[in-house]
Amino acid sequence: MPAQAQSARKTVKDVAAAKAGTPLVCLTAYTAPMAAMLDEVCDVLLVGDSVGMVVHGLPTTVGVTLEMMILHGQAVMRASKRAFVVVDMPFGSYEASLEQAFMNASRIMKETGCQAVKIEAGEYAAATVRHLVDRGIPVMAHVGLRPQATNVDGGFKAKGRTEKERSKVNTEALAADQAGCFAMVIEGVAEDLAAMITAQVSCPTIGIGASAKCDGQILVTDDLLGMFDWTPRFVRRYADLRGEIGRAVEGYAKDVRARAFPGEKETYVLKKAP
């Protein structure tokens, strides 16, 4: 058996174990340096299509392409060795047909080496989840607030606040679970709905803006690091990197303008002849 078959990476079984045990620690990663830093601590790294907004300055995730996801997926896989890595299927890469979904999901798996893909799962998507899982592709579902559907919803709005919507999100979650997803992100829903779904589904639920009643938590890493001046209410900022970076760059600019950088220590000089 070749050595690479003895991977130290977490598997779907490790993720599934969270249903009964310690909450899953999940974060987004899009680049190699960040993946290397998060790998030791996180159970799951998600190469989320939020990369379009966080890294590429897009207004929503709708403009993200398969090529972008593959490129960022490759970077994260290269720099991590422990965490379970999931890559998002971007808008337009899985909705047209089961064949389209398999073709693009298998491309993501082959070209990045990731362990699973994630799809945003309206009720119609249960067939896609089953089709991919039957063909060897583990699928994480994403229910509740679905960022790829914000054009239909009229913005990034919390879900399940009316009885009708609550029942719709619950139905979508149960359908994805029955179709065989190994885990499920629940985004932007009230605590009681997250608790109700978590109690009913067999797979672990991973909350983002969905309370502590889920089997794990995920955040956009740049949000928790304080990289933006605005973050959604459900984010807790654990650092102020935006402030840190601003102070560092101001210090550099001041030193350059005062000819205080580079100094002697940062300057090459001619070697003295022996």
**Sites of contact with ligand KIV (CB under 6 A):** 28, 46, 48-50, 88, 142, 185, 208, 218, 220
Between 137 and 265, CB nearer to ligand KIV: 137
Q: How far is the CB of 259 from ligand KIV (least distance, A)?
A: 43
| 219 phi/psi in degrees, rounded to 5 | -135, 160
Q: Specify the amino acid at residue 8.
A: A
Residue nearest to ligand KIV as judged by C-beta position: 48
Least separation in angstroms between residue 219's CB and ligand KIV is 8
> Contacts from 65-71 at CB under 8 Å and sequence distance 24+?
65/90, 66/90, 66/93, 66/104, 66/107, 66/108, 69/93, 69/108, 70/107, 70/108, 70/111, 70/112
* Alpha-carbon gap, residue 194 to 185, rounded angstroms: 10
CA pair distance 45, 80, nearest whole angstrom: 9
E-strand ranges in 36-181 read: 44-47, 84-88, 116-120, 139-144
Of 99, 163, 172, 187, the catalytic one is: 187
- Is the Cβ of residue 33 or residue 251 nearer to ligand KIV in the bound state? 33
Distance of closest approach, residue 185 Cβ to ligand KIV, in angstroms: 5
Of the pair 41, 256, the CB lying nearest ligand KIV is at 41
Rounded least distance, CB 34 to ligand KIV, Å: 13
Spatial CB neighbours of 199, under 8 Å, sequence gap ≥ 6: none
Answer yes or no: 244 catalytic: no
Distance CA 180, CA 133 (A): 7
Shortest CB 165 distance to ligand KIV, Å: 19
Burial of 61 (0-12, 13-18, 19+ CB in 10 A): buried
Q: Which one, 131 or 146, has the nearer CB to ligand KIV?
A: 146
| Closest by CA position to 211, among listed 227, 223, 198, 201 | 198
Catalytic residues: 187
